[in-house]
Structure 1
Amino acid sequence: MLEELEIHDLGPIHRALLTPAGGMTAITGETGAGKSMLLSAIRLISGGPASSGRVSPGASEAWAQGVFAVDDRGGVAQEARDAGAVLEDGELYLSRTVPVSGRSRAVLNGKSAPRSVLESLASQLVTIHGQADQLRIAAASRQREFLDMVAGDDDLLARYRHSWDALRDLDDRLERLRHQESSARQRADYLRESIQRINRADPQPGEDEELKGRRARIENAADIAQGVSRALAALDASQVDVDADSSSASDLLNQAISSLRDIRVDGDFGELADRLESLNADLSDIVFSLSRELDGEESVEDLDAINARIHELGELTRRWGPTLQDVIAWRDKATFEVEDLDASPEKVAQLQDEREAAFDRALQDAGALSEARRAAAQSLAATVTDELSSLAMAGARLDIRVTDRGEEAVLVSDSAGEASTWPLDANGRDDIEFLFTPFPGSPQLPMGKSASGGELSRLMLALELAAADRRSSAAPAGEGGPMTFIFDEVDAGVGGKAAVELGRRLARLARTSQVIVVTHLAQVASWADAQFVVTKGASDGGQSAVTTTVAEVCGDARAHEIARMLSGSESEASLDHARELLASSSLT
């Protein structure tokens, strides 16, 4: 949800701060006042094209920033973190600077970011329905995405794409097998020989380092034995000379402990005795470990075998290392590669059988996806058509055509005997087309080519209303945040009762989403939870300089603005009408 929009030196707007309501916000003002600059600012922070011609005269740069409230656990927040942003209190800052000369700069939560990052994030937060923006829905891919969103077929789509990926993987493997050349066969021979050599040696992870340690001990056996013997002689002479009659360090510690235990006067003597006992236990462990060192020394005769094994393992690491773990990993990977490079008829036939089974699975999963899309298309088209009649478009209708390319599909092969994925692609086996009939008797035409800007805005409003109803009924409570919808030109060619119905439907959409509408109709603006007025006037620089101000109107000031929109004047009659309109514009 958009919490704040701030603009500096963009077109005629030198300073503006817009804090839209969580529900519906109306942007009003006289024609030419600069309402379009607000949309330009939102397009800028959404990663849209930047033009230095939009910088205010006399300014060095234009700047716009949008502050959005996002779910800390949602996908938008995670994508922002992946881009390096640090979110605080669930707020996302998208800003853009456009200099008079040079490149624009995009910033995400105070850190520079590629424009594409802003575009990706904003696409999940804001949907602009202006004449230029909504033409995107004319693209077949956008229509498919919208229908899938309404259908709620995420699980079916994910299952199909898993089947599709498996099918394409088998296609790639078959392609390699069929077209491998002599170099590939040589590669397979080399891999087999290498695998056999590694298997003969049977290396174990870390084995070479362990052998080098054993070798070092054998080579320094005399020094080790001498040092260990001296240490044992000092700690417990009986470990190296059974006839030794001197007391061990452990015996001396026991005497000290006993002496301290015999003291019957208050003091720390008991605690000191405990510490000596702990020290004595450690000393006993050390003596035991040193005595084992004398008993466990390897014989010098093992040195030749150890050196030979180290040399053998070294040959492996030099060729396929640098470590034995790398050698083992290379062998395991090479084993799979050899299987793919082995172009035996049996292998090809096996992969062909797997490929046919994968094709059947993908076709079946695509069929389930098609059924869900057809059901959603029928429901969505009927709902939108009903909405259009209340938006001053009686007789207009929307039809959604879902053409299943695979209803009679079979696995086919081309002249070279290679399998084809027809009729499937990465999104299923459907061709989806939104067809709009603007008036009775008009032919069905592709959406985007058959409506004016105002008609298309109202059509998009009807689509968003239908989608919002689906989202509110399907989404778990409290999941994510509301989408921000911005409508421009939605009221073109509308008046009277139809304008009231238009406002009512925008307010209905605002129950589940944030709605910002640029409008010149009082009947639409009166439904808003907040209203901002864009006003044009002369600046201090003279009559030739024009500035635009943006200010929220509330209470009596709002009634005056509604009256101006109704009749162009603010007479008592107009004000009474405005107050009456505001009072009646409520969904409750």
Structure 2
Amino acid sequence: MLTALSIQNIVLIDRLALEFRPGLSVLTGETGAGKSILLDSLGLVSGARADSGLVRTGSSGGTVTAEFDIPSTHPVYAVLAEQGLDAGGGPILLRRQLTPDGRSRAFVNDQPVGVALLSRVGGLLVEIHGQQGQLGLLNPANHRALLDSFGGLTPQVSGMQAAYKIYRDLSAEAEAARARLAKARTDEDYLRHAAEELAALNPRPGEEEELADTRTAMMHGEQIAGELDDAMKSISGDKGAEPSLRVGMRRLERVADKASGRLDPIIEGLNRAFTEIEEASRALEAVARDLEFDPRVLEHTEERLFALRAAARKHNCTVEDLPAMREAMMAQIQALDTGEQGLVDLERRLREAEAEFATLAEGLSAARGEAAARLDAAVMAELPPLKLERAVFHTAVNRLPRDKWSAAGADDVQFEVATNPGSAMGPLSRIASGGELSRFALALKVVLAESDHPVTLIFDEIDQGVGGAVAAAVGARLARLSDRAQVLVVTHSPQVAARGGQHLRVGKIVEEGVTLTRVEILPPDERREEIARMLAGAQVTDEARAAATRLLEGVEA
């Protein structure tokens, strides 16, 4: 509910702070006193279009702030949490600042937001029903949800939406599978040929580096072999180090016993050197054998290396990636071979999901038809006391073409009305007008109140053009409605004003040559006087006061 409203520098209001109570609050006052300013201010703070004409002349800007206290289960909290504005279940503060050039800034819980979000939040908290237009339940986009809520169909709607999601997801999966299979079939000949080529080539990880190293070594084989041959001749050839060392050792050994042991260490060192030279000679011979140049081996190595690199260029990858490329192609071929059966299974599941969704959607359609009949009867029962006895209300539940079915089901729902016998049915917002529209909104709200989320309902001159028993019926229904939601009504009817739990009087004063609007919350005595004024006009008589007393006592009784 709306607990507080603060207005600064809006039209004729310089500064105003009001607190509201639950139930029914009535706003009265002379025509032109400024009651519409309050409604414009509430519209502005709940996201209506900003108008620079609302800023009070001579001020630097206007501000409207509204505070709401609502149950923690209200859907507005989900919207706030979605936007990172979680109020933690506490009060919700809406603020709108307006500059003289028409620019505005919006805030929710003192955090700046876009006007679109303010309007979304405000629409969940306030509904304004007035002469210039309607919000909330008169919007055809909301009628289906309102009917579902009235009929207690929310569990059926949830079940159907879950079935629709399964159907939609399987439909997307099947479409993607068909596209993949079609593409695979288009590329099948190339894919199989390329896979066969790679299978014949049989690339191995690390093979390119291995072949390149071998090729490089073999290309330099002749030069290396010549150098190795010269080295071996220098070591073990006829005039090499090994024969010379051997001759030198024999000569030393012949005279060693005559040298008193002084040659022994030298002979041992030469023996070690001779052993090392022999080992080096054998190693050189082994390397020479390994590097023996064979043109046929080089040719085979180059053919293999060049074939691998050509395949890599063909598939736009590295040689090292060829084994993985081959595995991927084999997997694609396998998927192609098994894809047909997979698609058959997927399409079977899709048909089953579609049938399940269709069954639930058709069941919901039937339930909507029954709920619509109950809603029509309930609304029609509310119309005669509101001087709408000649009108006909109808909830049209129209079956959509199959390709238009959605998570909302198979139906389009719209509230229709004919205001006169014989008139064609049409949308409520186009057929009804002025006070009729507000009274239709009241009838609908009374019927839907138990199934709707609590909001602050504002009715602007809902009693226009009616009086007596009809005005009393309007007041009685507003009072009934205020048992379930906070209701604010701008009224010229004493019968409606007498129903208010809180009575606010709007009037004008002149201070220092400036006209200002003031709002007073009336105590019981002044409230009786205001209702008497509404009954009598400019001159309040004792008879009017007595009639006002009877009205108030009749309501209290």
Q: Do Structure 1 and Structure 2 share a fold, with TM-score over 0.5?
A: yes
Shift of 1:500: 0.8
Shift of 1:65: 0.8
Aligned to 1:241: none
Distance in 2, Cα, partners of 1:65 & 1:339: 67
Aligned to 2:541: 571
Aligned equivalent of 2:406, options 418, 425, 436: 425
Q: Aligned letter for 2:148? A: D
Query: Equivalent residue of 1:538, what SS?
Result: strand
Q: Aligned letter for 1:572? A: D
| 1:536 is aligned to 2:505 | no
Q: Aligned letter for 2:116? A: S
Aligned equivalent of 1:448, options 429, 434, 438: 429
Distance in 2, Cα, partners of 1:462 & 1:523: 18
Query: Equivalent residue of 2:21, what SS?
Result: coil
Shift of 1:482: 3.7
Does the CA-based 8 Å contact 2:48-2:119 persist in structure 1? Answer: yes
Aligned to 1:585: 555
Distance in 2, Cα, partners of 1:339 & 1:466: 63
Aligned equivalent of 2:468, options 481, 484, 496: 496
Deviations 1:420-456 (A, max 9, x none): x535223101122222121333232221121112111
Distance in 2, Cα, partners of 1:342 & 1:137: 56
Shift of 1:459: 0.6
Does the CA-based 8 Å contact 1:137-1:448 persist in structure 2? Answer: no
Distance in 2, Cα, partners of 1:444 & 1:145: 21
| 1:550 is aligned to 2:519 | yes
Does the CA-based 8 Å contact 2:128-2:135 persist in structure 1? Answer: no
- Are the structure 2 counterparts of residues 182 and 440 from structure 1 closer, same or farther at C-alpha, using a change threshold of 3 Å? closer
Deviations 1:554-575 (A, max 9, x none): 2111111111111212222211
Number of aligned pairs?
Answer: 417
Shift of 1:506: 0.4
Q: Aligned letter for 1:507? A: A
- Are the structure 2 counterparts of residues 446 and 82 from structure 1 closer, same or farther at C-alpha, using a change threshold of 3 Å? closer
Distance in 2, Cα, partners of 1:140 & 1:573: 47
Aligned to 1:161: 161
Distance in 1, Cα, partners of 2:78 & 2:168: 30
Deviations 1:311-342 (A, max 9, x none): xxxxxxxxxxxxxxxxxxxxxxxxx9999999
Shift of 1:134: 1.9
Distance in 2, Cα, partners of 1:54 & 1:339: 72
Q: Aligned letter for 2:377? A: A
Deviations 1:163-202 (A, max 9, x none): 1122222222233333457599889x8xxx9xxxxxxxxx
Query: How do residues 43-62 of structure 1 correspond to structure 2 at under 5 angstroms?
Result: 43-62=43-62
Distance in 1, Cα, partners of 2:332 & 2:158: 29
Shift of 1:117: 2.8
Distance in 2, Cα, partners of 1:584 & 1:468: 25
Shift of 1:155: 1.4
Aligned to 1:511: 483
Aligned to 2:271: none
Query: How do residues 53-202 of structure 1 correspond to structure 2 at under 5 angstroms?
Result: 53-72=53-72, 74-85=74-85, 87=87, 90-101=90-101, 103-134=103-134, 137=137, 139-180=139-180, 182=183
Instruction: Indicate the larger mover: 359-368 or 175-184.
Output: 175-184
Does the CA-based 8 Å contact 1:178-1:343 persist in structure 2? Answer: no
Distance in 2, Cα, partners of 1:363 & 1:460: 34
Q: Aligned letter for 2:373? A: Q
Aligned equivalent of 1:364, options 334, 341, 359: 359
Q: So what's the TM-score if we normalise by structure 1?
A: 0.66
Q: Aligned letter for 2:504? A: F
Shift of 1:467: 0.9
Does the CA-based 8 Å contact 1:86-1:109 persist in structure 2? Answer: no
Does the CA-based 8 Å contact 2:77-2:89 persist in structure 1? Answer: no
Deviations 1:95-142 (A, max 9, x none): 111112363111122222222332222222222212444266554322
Does the CA-based 8 Å contact 1:177-1:341 persist in structure 2? Answer: no
- Are the structure 2 counterparts of residues 469 and 108 from structure 1 closer, same or farther at C-alpha, using a change threshold of 3 Å? closer
- Are the structure 2 counterparts of residues 85 and 578 from structure 1 closer, same or farther at C-alpha, using a change threshold of 3 Å? same
Choose 1 or 2 for highest CA Rg.
Answer: 2
Does the CA-based 8 Å contact 1:177-1:342 persist in structure 2? Answer: no
Query: Equivalent residue of 1:71, what SS?
Result: coil
- Are the structure 2 counterparts of residues 364 and 89 from structure 1 closer, same or farther at C-alpha, using a change threshold of 3 Å? closer
Distance in 2, Cα, partners of 1:453 & 1:431: 27
Aligned to 1:35: 35
Shift of 1:353: 1.5
Q: Aligned letter for 2:147? A: L
| 1:355 is aligned to 2:353 | no
Distance in 2, Cα, partners of 1:575 & 1:73: 45
Report % sequence identity. 34
Q: So what's the TM-score if we normalise by structure 2?
A: 0.69
Distance in 2, Cα, partners of 1:383 & 1:353: 45
Give the superposed CA RMSD: 3.0
**Structure 2: 5+ residue runs without aligned partners?**
196-330
Q: Aligned letter for 2:370? A: A
Shift of 1:40: 1.2
| 1:381 is aligned to 2:376 | yes
- Are the structure 2 counterparts of residues 142 and 89 from structure 1 closer, same or farther at C-alpha, using a change threshold of 3 Å? closer
- Are the structure 2 counterparts of residues 507 and 136 from structure 1 closer, same or farther at C-alpha, using a change threshold of 3 Å? closer
**Structure 1: 5+ residue runs without aligned partners?**
194-335, 407-420, 472-480
Query: Equivalent residue of 1:534, what SS?
Result: strand
Query: Equivalent residue of 1:449, what SS?
Result: helix
Shift of 1:156: 1.1
Report the structure, 1 or 2, having the larger helix content: 2
Query: How do residues 335-346 of structure 1 correspond to structure 2 at under 5 angstroms?
Result: 344-346=339-341
Instruction: Indicate the larger mover: 42-51 or 170-179.
Output: 170-179
Shift of 1:366: 0.7
